[in-house]
């Protein structure tokens, strides 16, 4: 180490060590997109070290793979910064730059929204992955890790008309259809108790371990929401009863609001051709979105796949 000022030797050695401990890996960037409007799309970016590009969750939510890089070198535990060029622009807070941290053999997911700047031009853009944050104008430009050309899908999958975008609504029917519960609110409030709740909802330890493994880098509410989505697919037990068993009646009170008569009329009209005592599987279309309604004696479940 060439250090002219001896007093700075410790500082320079520390910085050198901090950079040297980041192990390099060969990984690839993969981009999935879903167009929800002629001028807007949802994107999910992955930085993966395995070959599992067939992301089940993205396919279930009607995402399409639009770009994939060759194998490039990325450093373990380092942030990868994203810049855009062309006719696509990300929706972010003022001065904020998109970034994701790379962890080897983990699901490094970055979800965000992009908009088309000029609706009369092609929906094409470029995504540049950088090792450092965006430099001010006039400074020497960075050399990108890789550059991906993006073309948004032609098919438009509109957002659902169900209230509260990004939430899932559960209509309870104990003694009549009386209230709605938002899964997004429940997942935020339940916190680390989601593991106990999963047990009460009838999910197995393997389900819980799968969520912890796949979403180890995600927040606790995100893991809780994934668990509730898995419960929806099985409809194994009453959510309200499960919350009571783990002593979280406070969530029931905070996440339930009464339905008015118009809501009841709509639900009765939808369910009238079917036996009221038990409905196994229903498939209906609401504003061109496929909504699956599964029910058991306690619940009629409305699923909104767009998160």
CATH value at residue 94: 2.60.40.2660
Q: Which residue ranges in the chain fall short of pLDDT 70?
A: 1, 51-56, 159-185, 217, 233-237, 253-307
Contacts of 63 (CB under 8 A, 6+ apart): 32, 33, 34, 42, 44, 55
Domain boundary among 124, 151, 178: 151
Contact 301, 270 (CB under 8 A): no
Q: Which of 81, 51, 85 is nearest to 68 (CA)?
A: 51
- For residues 296 and 184, membership in a common domain is answered with yes
- Beta-strand ranges (E) seen in 99-174 are 99-101, 109-116, 124-130, 146-151, 169-172
Task: Answer yes or no: do 66 and 140 share one domain.
Answer: yes
* Other CB atoms within 10 Å distance of the CB of residue 148: 19
Q: Last residue of some domain: 95, 120, 151?
A: 151
Region label for 269, one of left (φ > 0), alpha (ψ between -120 and 50) or beta (otherwise): alpha
| 35/113 Cα distance (integer angstroms) | 10
Q: What CATH number is attached to the domain comprising 259?
A: 1.10.533.10
Residue 166 has a pLDDT of 38
Residues 130 and 253 in one domain: no
Does 70 map to a domain? yes
Closest CA to 31 of 53, 3, 9, 5: 53
Same domain for 48 and 145?
yes
Has residue 163 been placed in a domain?
no
Whether residue 54 lies inside any domain: the answer is yes
Residue 156 lies in a domain: no
| Same domain, residue pair 135 and 53 | yes
Q: Which domain holds residue 84?
A: 18-151
Q: Are residues 186 and 261 in the same domain?
A: yes
Shared-domain flag, residues 197 and 237: yes
1, part of any domain? no
pLDDT, position 280: 37
Examine residue 33 and state whether it is found in any structural domain, yes or no: yes
For residue 100, being part of any structural domain is answered with yes
**151, 177, 201 - which closes a domain:** 151
Instruction: With H, G, I as helix, E, B as strand and everything else as coil, classify residue 232.
Output: helix
Same domain, 130 and 177: no
Q: Report how far apart the first and last C-alpha atoms of the chain are (Å, whole number).
A: 50
Cα distances (Å, whole numbers) of residue 120 to 117, 139, 151, 156: 9, 33, 15, 16
Number of domains into which the chain is organized? 2
Q: Which of 216, 217, 195 is nearest to 207 (CA)?
A: 195
The predicted structure's pLDDT at residue 211: 86
The sign one gets for the Cα dihedral 75, 79, 85, 87 is positive
Query: What radius of gyration do the chain's Cα atoms show?
Result: 24
239-270 per-position pLDDT tens digit: 777 878 888 877 776 665 444 444 444 444 44
Taking CA atoms, 287 is separated from 18, 158, 162, 262, in Å, by 53, 8, 9, 18
Q: Please report where in the chains the tokens 């979280």 appear, as a residue.
A: 248
Looking up tokens 């995402």 gives 63
Residue 252 belongs to a domain: yes
110 and 213 in a single domain? The answer is no
Locus of tokens 């994939």: 68
CA distances from 47 to 81, 206, 266 (A): 12, 25, 44
- 90: phi then psi, degrees, rounded to nearest 5: -75, 150
CA–CA separation, 289 and 162 (whole Å): 10
In total, the chain counts a number of residues equal to: 307
């Amino acid at each position: 180490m060439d250090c002219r000022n001896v007093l700075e030797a410790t500082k320079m050695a520390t910085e050198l060590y901090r950079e040297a401990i980041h192990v390099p890996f060969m990984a690839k960037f993969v981009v999935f997109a879903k167009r929800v409007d002629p001028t807007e799309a949802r994107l999910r970016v992955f930085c993966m070290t395995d070959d599992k590009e067939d992301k089940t969750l993205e396919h279930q939510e009607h995402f399409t793979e639009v770009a994939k890089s060759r194998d490039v070198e990325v450093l373990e535990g380092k942030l990868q910064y994203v810049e855009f060029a062309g006719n696509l622009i990300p929706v972010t807070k003022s001065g904020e730059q998109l970034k994701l941290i790379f962890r080897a053999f983990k699901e490094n997911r970055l979800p965000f929204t992009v908009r088309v700047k000029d609706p009369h031009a092609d929906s094409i853009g470029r995504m540049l992955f950088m090792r450092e944050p965006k430099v001010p104008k006039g400074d020497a430009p960075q050399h990108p890790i890789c550059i991906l050309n993006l073309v948004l899908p032609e098919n438009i999958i509109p957002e659902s008309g169900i209230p509260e975008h990004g939430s899932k609504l559960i209509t309870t029917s104990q003694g009549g259809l009386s209230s709605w519960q938002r899964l997004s609110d429940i997942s935020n409030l339940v916190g680390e108790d989601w593991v106990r709740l999963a047990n009460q909802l009838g999910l197995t330890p393997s389900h819980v371990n799968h969520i912890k493994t796949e979403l180890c880098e995600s927040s606790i509410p995100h893991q809780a929401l994934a668990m509730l989505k898995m419960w929806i697919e099985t409809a194994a037990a009453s959510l309200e009863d499960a919350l009571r068993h783990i002593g979280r009646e406070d969530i029931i009170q905070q996440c339930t609001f009464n339905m008015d008569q118009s809501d009841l009329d709509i639900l009765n009209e939808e369910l009238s051709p079917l036996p009221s005592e038990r409905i196994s599987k229903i498939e209906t279309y609401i504003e061109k979105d496929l909504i699956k309604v599964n029910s058991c004696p306690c619940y009629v479940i409305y699923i909104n796949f767009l998160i």
